[in-house]
Structure 1
Amino acid sequence: MTTGEILGGSGTKSTETPDVDDPLYIHPTDTITGTIISFKLLGTENFKVWKSSMTRALKAKNKLGFMDGTVTKIVNGLVKSLKWEGANVFVCFWLLRSISETIYAGHACSEKVVDIWNELNETYLKLDGFVGTLHGKLLL
């Protein structure tokens, strides 16, 4: 295979240039075994910093739309649907590999990035707000 050639869905060579700006594009150096931030979510104590770091990392990889739900599964095209599935799996792995083992157990069966992200936000933003409110009342 020469430069610029990629395998099409049928295994045939194509000279189509990959669109690196497409959120469905997976860079050859991206792996599901790697991490995209340097620390794990432990709970309320580091959720805001973790969320900020994860958001920046996903934005850098053009995958933020999976997290916020703006990149949705394409149902009217097999190739695009499969690409969405693949990219979604990558981002799921990146998210799951960046959370502690105790938190991981509650999200391991989630199949969509947006679901994992929303569940983490619902859990830890509420708890963080509650802890902050409680702390404020204790200081009075």
Structure 2
Amino acid sequence: MSSTTQSLKITDPRSPFFLHPSDHPSVILTTVLLHGQTNYENWAKLMRNALKAKNKLDFILGNAIAPTDKASDEAYAWSLCNSMINSWIHNTIDPKLKSYIKCFETAKGLWDDLKE
């Protein structure tokens, strides 16, 4: 992919790689904290809705897969978005639960682990 194409991809709000200037790792997507299985369904629904609004739902559904060429611009953009989503998810987890949560390289891995 040419750098011009990639540049359009990350600046196009319709692209899943687009990050708005107001997006940062400290953003809290929902005020409902995940406390465990007792409120997982409600929390997950709110998080899916928020991620959909930011065009990032495919990252937790497994449809936005890391590019195989790790040196590509697309892989870099994917990595930035994946890390941002991981932060957003962690921001909505009850601090008492955080010590029990494994570290995952992908937002999908973290999402799937929380589902269990």
In the other structure, the counterpart of 2:66 is 73
**Alignment check: 8 A CA contact 1:96 1:107 kept:** no
Tell me the SS of whatever aligns to 2:35. coil
In the other structure, the counterpart of 1:101 is 95
- CA distance in 2 between counterparts of 1:102 and 1:23 reads 31
Segments of 5+ residues of structure 2 without an aligned counterpart are: none
Higher mean C-alpha displacement, 75-84 vs 30-39: 75-84
Higher mean C-alpha displacement, 95-104 vs 56-65: 95-104
Identity of aligned residues (%): 27
**Alignment check: 8 A CA contact 2:103 2:110 kept:** no
Q: What's the CA shift for 1:41? A: 0.3
**Alignment check: 8 A CA contact 1:73 1:81 kept:** yes
- CA distance in 1 between counterparts of 2:66 and 2:82 reads 9
**TM-score by structure 2 length?**
0.85
- CA distance in 2 between counterparts of 1:23 and 1:104 reads 27
Q: What's the CA shift for 1:19? A: 1.3
**Alignment check: 8 A CA contact 2:30 2:50 kept:** yes
Q: What's the CA shift for 1:74? A: 1.1
Higher mean C-alpha displacement, 28-37 vs 105-114: 105-114
**Which residue type is aligned with residue 24 of structure 1?**
F
**Alignment check: 8 A CA contact 1:96 1:108 kept:** no
Superposed CA deviations along residues 14-54 of structure 1, whole A, max 9, x for unmatched, are xx552111111111111101201112100122111101100
In the other structure, the counterpart of 1:118 is 112
Segments of 5+ residues of structure 1 without an aligned counterpart are: 1-8, 10-15, 123-140
2:76 to 79, 82, 91: 82
**1:45 to 2:57 alignment:** no
**Which residue type is aligned with residue 47 of structure 1?**
Y
Q: What's the CA shift for 1:103? A: 2.2
Tell me the SS of whatever aligns to 1:89. helix
Give the 4+ runs in structure 1 shifted more than 3 A. none
**Aligned residue pairs, count:** 108
Larger radius of gyration: 1
What's the C-alpha RMSD, in Å, of the aligned pairs?
1.6
